[in-house]
Each structure stands twice: as structure tokens, then as C-alpha cells.
Amino acid sequence: MGFLDIDNTTKSYGSVEVLHKVDISIEEGEFLVLVGPSGCGKSTLLNMIAGLEEITSGEIRIKDNVMNGVHPSKRNIAMVFQSYALYPNMTVGQNITFGLEMHGVAKPEREKAMQDVARLLQIEQLLDRKPGQLSGGQRQRVAMGRALVRNPDVFLFDEPLSNLDAKLRVDMRTEIKKLHQSLGTTIVYVTHDQIEALTLSTRIAVMNGGYVQQLGTPQEIYDKPENIFVATFMGSPAMNVVPAVVRVDGGVPQAEIVLFDGSKARLPFSQPNLTAWDGRDILLGIRPEAITDHDSADRKSGNIASLSNRIVVTEPAGSDMFVSMQLGGKDVIARMRSDADVRAGQDFEFAVNMEKAIAFDPETEARIQP
């Protein structure tokens, strides 16, 4: 059993099931990120952990104690809300200590806990202000202080950074990560931002339509997506997915894809069991950074294939150059060095890192397991 177990949990509103048999177990000190598009049920799941939504079936356990039906305040959790939800009529200090007061902690201890947290988050000079007199970033800190002061078993965050501007968001992201590393707390964090998910988490649960599509470390999610949804949702720009046919040549399975002019090219797979798919259609998934020029191709890769194709558009983006082309009738994006010598309309020799290529079954959209 883990530290936090979500065991076959479902949620229905009336006859509509919005979460289907969710099964997640995390260890103490883990940073779990729930990520997925709007309406996939992330907040609902988080609220069920918090006790703000009832569990329709299944169990949620914290430290092996069943939480079904336990009041939110008795679960020893703390939550940071998207809107921060600071009590507008109380000062920052009162906001931070309100939970302790409600739990019957004596005043001197409350004061001390408040000072400790304020020092940790560097909000000591704000303690006497009202939330209305704070900036967005300061409110964010106070909201975290209110969660930290309770010293809970599990921290729950519901899109805590989505109200901040881009720069502050990156700063606070780093700050949350530092906090997690120094305090070693267990965190469940909801976001729809896949970058946030990849940077913060120790594990990610990618959700869609009320199902957990994949649960894994950021590396697993990124490199070995279980299906096309996960593959295209995580990563920016998204993974290229192109139709291909498997051809076995000399015992080696190859992906046959149609180029811009209708001619065909073959790229050899590094996945031997694909020989079983000889002659069948698949979907080939390649991340943009796995398509480059030969000079900057990954030297550690044992399988770099050449691909000649015409460049349609080049988009310089500061550190990178995004180059788009036609493959299998789809727009495909390659990520090159910013100083790559490429022009629109040029025929170019690309290097494709086929070690990173992933084959999907076009029927089920699931990954063909190696």
C-alpha cells in the first residue's frame, strides 16, 4: 500500500459518470501531477481526495486510513485553490492561522507557526495586510503559507499558477519545486499545462474524459506514451503522428511513408517485434526533436535514418528553428538548431532518430508494445 491510494474510484453526477475507475497509488514525498484537457475530471478527483466531493464508488486512503465519508478538516490535508481563496475580511496573518484556530491550537503556538511559515515564504512584512492589498504573486505565497502552516500529510494544489503572468508563473514553479525538495511533502497538483507537469512532478497521471490514460514518471510519459492521446498531449510542439505501412526487409521492420511528392521512403525501426505487422498500417510517432539535420543528430543513437523531403515553412523561434514538411499527408514539424541553413522550398536531407520512434495501432490508438 502506498501513502495515498486512489483505489478503483469512480464519480458520478446523477447518471453521468465523470471519473471511471481511477487507480493511482503514490508514495510519501511524491509529487503527483494530474494533467489533462479542460473537463477531464482533474479538479473532481482532487476534490474527492480533499473530501469536498463525495466518492461514488471505490476507496481513497491516506496512510492506509479510508477517507470515504471523512470530513475535509479531519483528513490532514491542505489545499491551495486556483483563486487562492484568501478570506477577504481577515489579515494575512489571520488567514494563515485560521485553520489552526479552528483546530483548537493555542494562540502562542499559532503565532510561532505563523512566524515560521512567513519566514519560509518571505511574507513577514505582509502579515498585517488584507488580501485585497496584495499582488497576485504575494497572494499565491499567502495561500501556500496557509497550506504549509498546518503541516499536513498531503498538499493539494488546483491550478495554483494559472492566474499569474508568464514570468511569475515560471518563478513560482521553481519555488514550489524547491519547497517540495526541501520539505519532502507529498503533493497532488492539478494543471492543464503539460510543461508544468513535466517540470514539477515525480509522477504524472495524464487524464482524458474521466480516464487515467497513463501514469508514470515524466520521462516515461514523454518517451514511452501509451497511446496517441498521451503522445500528442504531452510535449510542445506536439509529437508528429503520420500514417505508415510496415515493410519487413532483410528481417528488419521498416516504416514506409509517403513524401511530399507521392514517392515513398523507408525508415528502419529499432523495435524487432514489429515484423509481425508486416504489410499492415500503423501510425508512426516521432517527436520534433528526433528530426534534425545530420550534424546535430543524437550521437548516442544507434539508429539514425536519412529522409529527403521538401521544406514547406521555416519558423525561427529564438533557441530553435521549427521546420515543417509534408509526410504521409500530414504536416510534420522538425526541431533544428536556430542557425540551421534551411529555406522554405528547399529539398533537405533530414536525420530521423528512429530509436525514439513509436508505433501505434491505428485501430486502438494504443502503443504497439516492444
Partner 1 sequence: MSVASQDTAIRTGRVTRKLIYLVLVLFALFYMLPLYVMLVNSVKPLSEITGGGMMNLPQAFTLEPWAKAWSSAQIGVEPTGLAPYFWNSIKMVVPAVAVSTVLGALNGYVLTKWRFKYDTILFGLMLFACFIPFQIVLIPMARMLGLMGLAGTTWGLALVHVVYGIGFTTLYFRNYYAVFPTELIRAAQIDGAGFFQIFWRILLPSSGPIAVVSVIWQFTNIWNDFLFGASFAGADSQPMTVALNNLVQASHGVKEYNVHFAGAILAAMPTLLVYIVAGRYFVRGLMAGSVKG
Ligand X SMILES: Nc1ncnc2c1ncn2[C@@H]1O[C@H](COP(=O)(O)OP(=O)(O)OP(=O)(O)O)[C@@H](O)[C@H]1O
Residues in the site for ligand X, rule: CB under 6 A?
13, 18, 36, 38-44, 192
Helix (H) or strand (E) holding 13, with range, is: strand 4-13
Asked if residue 317 lies in contact with residue 301, where contact means CB atoms within 8 angstroms, the answer is no
CB of 90 to ligand X, least distance (A): 27
Residues ≥6 apart with Cβ < 8 Å to 331: 312, 324, 325
Q: Which of 69, 88, 108, 345 binds partner 1 (CB under 8 A)?
A: 88
With 0-12 / 13-18 / 19 or more C-beta atoms within 10 angstroms meaning exposed / middle / buried, residue 132 is exposed
Q: Provide CB contacts within 8 A for 369, sequence distance 6+.
A: none
- To Mg ion, the closest distance from the beta carbon of 127 in angstroms equals 30
Please choose which of partner 1, Mg ion, ligand X, none residue 103 contacts, taking the beta carbon within 5 to 8 angstroms, the exact cut-off set by kind.
partner 1
Residue 212 CB, nearest approach to ligand X (Å): 12
8 A C-beta contact, residue 297 and residue 262: no
Closer by beta carbon to partner 1, 95 or else 208: 95
Q: List C-alpha distances in Å: 26 to 71, 230, 233, 293.
A: 22, 20, 23, 41
Site string for partner 1, 93-132 (x = CB under 8 A): -----xx--xx-----------------------------
Listed in sequence order, the residues at least 6 apart from 103 whose beta carbon sits closer than 8 Å to its beta carbon are: 73, 150
Partners of residue 158 on adjacent β-strands: 190
Q: Where are the alpha helices (DSSP H) in 314-356?
A: none
- Shortest gap between Cβ of 150 and partner 1 (angstroms)? 8
Rounded to a whole number of angstroms, the minimum distance from the CB of residue 196 to ligand X is: 12
Which of the choices partner 1, Mg ion, ligand X, none does residue 254 contact, using the CB cut-off of 5 to 8 A by kind? none
Q: Which residues contact 213 (CB under 8 A, 6 or more apart)?
A: 36, 206, 207, 226, 227, 229, 230
Q: Cβ of 287: how many Cβ atoms within 10 Å?
A: 22
Piece of 26-34, 81-89, 206-214, 241-249 that binds partner 1 (CB under 8 A): 81-89
Grid cell for residue 323 = 521546420
Task: Choose between 13 and 87: whose C-beta lies nearer to ligand X.
Answer: 13
- Near partner 1 by CB under 8 A: residue from 8, 57, 65, 89: 89
Q: At closest approach, how far in Å is the CB of 7 from ligand X?
A: 19
Residues making contact with Mg ion (CB under 5 A): 43
Query: Residues 17-56: x/- map of binding to partner 1 (CB under 8 A)?
Result: ------------------------------x--xxx----
Query: Where on the chain is the footprint of partner 1 (CB under 8 A)?
Result: 47, 50-52, 71-73, 77-79, 81-83, 85, 87-89, 98-99, 102-103, 146
